[in-house]
Structure 1
């Protein structure tokens, strides 16, 4: 719980502590006069995929910053390189989140969990720091506990991010029977909250997403599980806390369909870690017409199938999303056959109107990009603050098995140079003393002071103006052990200071406070720290990142170029492929019974009604009413828009029944590398009457790019994935239905319009 007060300054106790600590301490050297620090750490630059230096594929990435200052990246058990063997999960490391080096597998045949079958795969690791040790959660696809594929969630512990790993003797979440089979218990993701509770999220399409509370060790699920997302829509959950909201981000659609993979990431949020999670329009992720705000989606460049992600924050406070994706021109590992080539990519994660979105909505990057901030200003050696005589005051160098070299504070310590006015400070802290650790930024009556008080078990922030101060305090959970390394992050910008304690720096919160600042409070000054017996490591001081808060522009419709309002029963200008005798023009609409035919697979049987599109860029739109019921299984009745070159080369955007759900799907079928491949992107929730749009443009290579959108009111649009067709493709555009004749239903198309793009 956080509380805030405004009252006369209460600094006497802390001032006395400073006097006591410095009275008999080492005599501090004279500090250089404070000055504005304008330099920035050497800029990093990267080009996706970031794992290209050591692997062809590195899927389902999970990331953490170790207490030794390295970032560590974990991946599922696919072969690393073409012709390689399946590993038992992988780990690599980097100093800057850009240049990665391979370390090892997590398990070998002697250390793998004994309750996994010999043929089990190990998927989707999730890495956390829990009570002074590293915990890796992972999927076991088959256990010895039951007959048949009975997936479960396992865990392994280690003193360092690279092991040695000791698997638990039993699953954290055991297999979950469901009639004659088992629910898919995949893709774990842990979250620690500020009341001291830890949660584990898991699940997949068959059964949906769930969350269970973990016991105090973090190694066993306890109590009743809570469902947080509907089945047949999401997998790869990842949850973080921001500004009082819990954000559940998860991937949707097929991860691994080669050149037609439409995997992408969506989000919902809740003020409880147990949900319900809803999107920006208030649609629940539990709805059978499931919601989800788009976080990451393919944009028509090289990368498709972008998903199964993790989020990490750099040393300026900027968030980054790491995820796997597929090169649409090179989607497979030739050996062993059938394995999708899914390297790890990284891009900036922005927050726009309270929602996470990759590169402001631009999606996966291709080509050189500005990279994360991974160093520090003020001459600090991040991984050893005691090095280089950069700090002044009373401290000494110390070492620790987990962190290595660091500084042991014995009183007041300060930097030689001034920190930026708008600043992001990070450090790892551990202490066995009851005395507070204090961090100060600014000067005089406008100084901002952050204290971690083990005795009072409080995280406290205050700043003063004249005779008065503003302050805010949050409780540190009673069971939390401050004698193990804990991350402290302080983000100070004009108008606000925010301080957070966390175990893993992964959107988890031990305690957090935020305090509004009066205008003009910020002053450039050296960073000060005060502590007796406080160990400090991984100290960085950087200019606070400049957040991107404006989304990239979306296609805007202009004038009508061509319109069909279905008043002509002869459908002049249109051409049928396999005409459906039941389709008819009636009452100013095209009424088309949904039949059993389908285009997917060899030898398409579904009917298609097509028209030549205009030249250049355009948007095609239709309004369609289609009653597919509520939750009964009606696989895969559908109708909507289609871009059709031939029966093996097409895109279709439709309202479709997928098991118990109703979704808008933008799918692609293509023949490539000798295979006929179908996959789709699931865009969002349809209504009985749904507006559908496809935006067409071309790129510099002459390829055709088609982007999907849907609306349930004809005014507000959800833009989704982009598919491409080769340059020179002669595709027509129109309507389709199909997927199942029973129960009987009809799609009613009110119009088709081709619109200019403004």
Structure 2
């Protein structure tokens, strides 16, 4: 894949059309023919999109006022196809599992992906990745706080990596199948590490969430820090300290004041959600969650839904104004973002557990895992597609169907 370059005249808000099939030769500003708008913005394939400023890797964003002057901006982008390309530093293909991806842009300009079982990847363009390590931190042993009789078999699941202040924090769930422990965290001065494990943030008994897995941390515009956590027994929001390294007012306070934002408490219910991810766009909070079965190859029924709210604590509602907390017992509320069940060729199964990346052109990209025919559905691999926005401001991917082995243009970043 050749890296593609183009130059446009850009203001804080802009609308542009990207020429198809461009090579690595820069396109002139006149050939792009950008349209500058003083009140709205949209990408070439979104129906309702605003250029946003990301305040941190938490994906908080807000609209800006329009600049009266235009300056040339160089972007670069590449092409990608699903499953995404991952190689070792030697150039050979990485064929291992990438599950529950947390994708974030580092201070060094690289795009990083962190996944279950301590894997870290790195990318220059968000389209193809290089394997960095399979051991971000050693597996902790604080599972004995919850299961004193156990001697091993626990793993780090579904990490989320966020910069808070001048520290990068690697949040993780420590778990084994049917034996969730809780959430811990590790800290580094650099996104690429090394990370020092600070141990347990809370366990399932302390926080009162029976399946406290899949943490995702969101930093709001005012600096408040929140964590969504949980699975098919209910998704909850707790508030952290401003440095992200503790529970605001202590664990007992958060246990008593946690907020149910999706699903419902009770027994395991796959028609509710796990794999939470929250972003903020144009004053709305968007909650993404995955419903169905995650890990059964061609029998996986995972798919991604979204709800939105004017408040971080909800209620999150879908396009039919139904609350995500009313899901369960076979009913899944939420506006559908993506689902492989609508692919006629059945090349993809079980897409879900996403994160979202904002590029420099104001477009949002959803990264997720899925099984595919590329390896006979043997393991979960990294996928990505562009988010579009409907007239009611709900995100979805094209046709709501994961792309597969199609060469598509990827995220756009300012050329330094």
Instruction: Tell me, yes or no, whether TM beats 0.5.
Output: yes
Q: Which residue of 1 aligns with 2:11?
A: none
Q: Which residue of 2 aligns with 1:347?
A: 385
Superposed CA offset, 1:435-490 (max 9, x none): xxxxxxxxxxxxxxxxxxxxxxxxxxxxxxxxxxxxxxxxxxxxxxxxxxxxxxxx
> SS in structure 2 opposite 1:173?
strand
| Partner of residue 280 from structure 1, selected from 310, 319, 341 | 319
- The 5-angstrom pairing of residues 86-235 of structure 1 reads 89-107=118-136, 111-116=138-143, 118-141=152-175, 149-169=179-199, 171-176=200-205, 183-205=210-232, 207-222=233-248, 223=254, 224-231=257-264, 232=269, 233-235=272-274
Q: Which residue of 2 aligns with 1:304?
A: 349
Aligned residues: 315
> SS in structure 2 opposite 1:176?
helix
Q: Which residue of 1 aligns with 2:99?
A: 59
Question: Does structure 2 conserve the Cα–Cα contact (< 8 Å) formed by 1:258 and 1:328?
Answer: no
User: 2-side partners of 1:325 and 1:105: how far apart?
Assistant: 20
User: 2-side partners of 1:208 and 1:173: how far apart?
Assistant: 17
User: 1-side partners of 2:176 and 2:75: how far apart?
Assistant: 47
Question: Does structure 1 conserve the Cα–Cα contact (< 8 Å) formed by 2:180 and 2:213?
Answer: no
C-alpha displacement of 1:294: 0.4
- The 5-angstrom pairing of residues 9-20 of structure 1 reads none
> SS in structure 2 opposite 1:221?
coil
> SS in structure 2 opposite 1:269?
strand
Question: Does structure 2 conserve the Cα–Cα contact (< 8 Å) formed by 1:72 and 1:93?
Answer: yes
TM-score, normalised by the number of residues in structure 1: 0.40
User: 2-side partners of 1:229 and 1:211: how far apart?
Assistant: 9
Give unmatched runs, 5+ long, in structure 2: 1-68, 88-93, 145-151, 249-253
Give unmatched runs, 5+ long, in structure 1: 1-33, 78-88, 334-340, 377-381, 383-758
Q: Which residue of 2 aligns with 1:239?
A: 278
Question: Does structure 2 conserve the Cα–Cα contact (< 8 Å) formed by 1:177 and 1:183?
Answer: no
- The 5-angstrom pairing of residues 278-677 of structure 1 reads 278-288=317-327, 289-298=331-340, 299-300=342-343, 301=345, 302-328=347-373, 330-333=375-378, 341-353=379-391, 354-359=393-398, 361-376=400-415, 382=416
> SS in structure 1 opposite 2:298?
helix
Question: Does structure 2 conserve the Cα–Cα contact (< 8 Å) formed by 1:47 and 1:366?
Answer: yes
Q: Which residue of 2 aligns with 1:465?
A: none
C-alpha displacement of 1:370: 1.3
- The structure in which a higher percent of residues are helix is 2
C-alpha displacement of 1:321: 0.7
Quick check: which has more Rg, 1 or 2?
1
C-alpha displacement of 1:366: 3.0
Question: Does structure 1 conserve the Cα–Cα contact (< 8 Å) formed by 2:288 and 2:305?
Answer: yes
Question: Does structure 1 conserve the Cα–Cα contact (< 8 Å) formed by 2:86 and 2:128?
Answer: no
C-alpha displacement of 1:361: 3.0
C-alpha displacement of 1:150: 4.1
Distance 1:373-1:274 versus aligned 2 partners, 3 A rule: same
C-alpha displacement of 1:221: 2.5
TM-score, normalised by the number of residues in structure 2: 0.70
Work out which structure has the larger RCO, using CA pairs closer than 8 Å and 6 or more positions apart in sequence: 2
C-alpha displacement of 1:164: 1.2
Question: Does structure 2 conserve the Cα–Cα contact (< 8 Å) formed by 1:51 and 1:345?
Answer: no
> SS in structure 2 opposite 1:100?
strand
Superposed CA offset, 1:654-677 (max 9, x none): xxxxxxxxxxxxxxxxxxxxxxxx
Question: Does structure 2 conserve the Cα–Cα contact (< 8 Å) formed by 1:268 and 1:285?
Answer: yes
Question: Does structure 2 conserve the Cα–Cα contact (< 8 Å) formed by 1:236 and 1:308?
Answer: yes
